[in-house]
Amino acid sequence: MVYEWGMSSVTSRLASARQAVLVRQHHLGAFEDPAPRPAFPADPVMRWGRWGLLPVSSLMRVQTSDPVVAITYDDGPDPEQTPAILDVLAERGVPATFFVLSDRAETYPAIIERMVREGHEVALHGIDHSRLTEVPGVEAVRRLREAKLRVEDVSGRPVRFYRPTYGAVGISTFAAARALGMEVVIWSAWAMDWLNAPVEEVAARGAGALHPGAILLLHDTTDDPAAAEAGTLPTFSRAELVRRILDGADAAGFRFLRVDNLVRLYPAVRSVTVQRPRPHLPFH
């Protein structure tokens, strides 16, 4: 199925662009750093280059002092971990945004249907976990278009957000995502849950990195062949991980929104990301 974007969507995008905060990526702080995050310094390059850089910038977080965050998941759905995660989210009344792979979505359509039924947002991560920056631009565009249509066919909903695998995105991918009506979303906090470690350690890192307006990166599985080959796949329960992160977030007074509602209510904080944010940490 194909979804058309009308003039109201164009007008909304222009208004959002005027409100957006454009920053250099290193001004966001390290994604695992404990809150609070540093204030953004005045940057004449970002100010004067704003309208040229915005079209190739990614959503990193939103600008607010309100204690609101978005929980996001990559690489799923997984037949064991994802339903258990959904159980915890349902128990706690927490919405999330799931960046899914179309191959997996078609394999496990009932899980996608459950996400939609329980009020979560289904977004796009790709066909599989291959890196689109390593294929020709025309092929990257073809894959992105195909993946979007396949996920929409399963979910019955338009896909509005795209997170490139590894956070690696090039100009052609940006152009394709925008032409297909999708916003490119990265993150501003992570738990580093693609590495095997005690669940309490990973949860403390994820909860500690939360800050007002954060987009938290988590995984309902790790669909990365390199991680499997390296023998670093996590053995902890991802449901237990999110339960512990939610406990920490609740204690700090955070509320949870899906990505679409986060950007609807608050100005976007954007950064130019033409390569993956942290190239020395490969498994996400």
Q: What is the mean pLDDT of residues 277-284?
A: 40
Kindly state whether residue 86 falls inside one of the protein's structural domains: yes
Identify the band that residue 1 occupies on the pLDDT scale cut at 50, 70 and 90: very low
Structure confidence at residue 55 (pLDDT): 81
Peptide bond preceding 158: is omega within 30 degrees of 0, i.e. cis? no
Kindly state whether residue 203 falls inside one of the protein's structural domains: yes
> Domain of 86?
7-24+44-272
Kindly state whether residue 125 falls inside one of the protein's structural domains: yes
Structural contact between residues 219 and 74, judged by C-beta atoms closer than 8 angstroms: yes
Angle, alpha carbons 9-115-20 (nearest 5°): 35
Q: Which of 23-32, 152-161, 192-201 has the lowest mean pLDDT?
A: 23-32
Q: Which residues are CB-neighbours of 202 under 8 A, at least 6 positions away? A: 191, 192, 193, 195, 234, 236, 241
Tokens of 153: 């066919």
Kindly state whether residue 211 falls inside one of the protein's structural domains: yes
Kindly state whether residue 281 falls inside one of the protein's structural domains: no
pLDDT at residue 186 greater than cutoff 90: yes
Q: Quick one: which of 52, 99, 84, 61 has its CA closest to 219?
A: 99
Structure confidence at residue 226 (pLDDT): 63
Identify the band that residue 42 occupies on the pLDDT scale cut at 50, 70 and 90: confident
pLDDT at residue 276 greater than cutoff 70: no
| Predicted confidence (pLDDT) per residue in 18-32, tens digit | 588 998 888 888 899
Tokens of 113: 């249907």
Structure confidence at residue 72 (pLDDT): 98
Instruction: Give the span between the Cα atoms of 145 and 158, in whole angstroms.
Output: 13
Kindly state whether residue 1 falls inside one of the protein's structural domains: no
pTM: 0.88
Structure confidence at residue 210 (pLDDT): 97
Q: Quick one: which of 272, 230, 25, 275 has its CA closest to 132?
A: 275
| Predicted confidence (pLDDT) per residue in 65-118, tens digit | 999 999 999 999 999 999 999 999 999 999 999 999 999 999 999 999 999 999
Q: What single-letter amino acid sits at 154?
A: V
* CATH number assigned to the domain comprising residue 146: 3.20.20.370
Q: What single-letter amino acid sits at 12?
A: S
The residue to which tokens 């929104």 are assigned: 257
Kindly state whether residue 72 falls inside one of the protein's structural domains: yes
Domains identified in the chain, total number: 1
Structural contact between residues 218 and 193, judged by C-beta atoms closer than 8 angstroms: yes
Kindly state whether residue 12 falls inside one of the protein's structural domains: yes
Q: What single-letter amino acid sits at 164?
A: P
- Counts of helices then strands in the chain (DSSP H, E): 12, 11
Active site residues: 74, 219
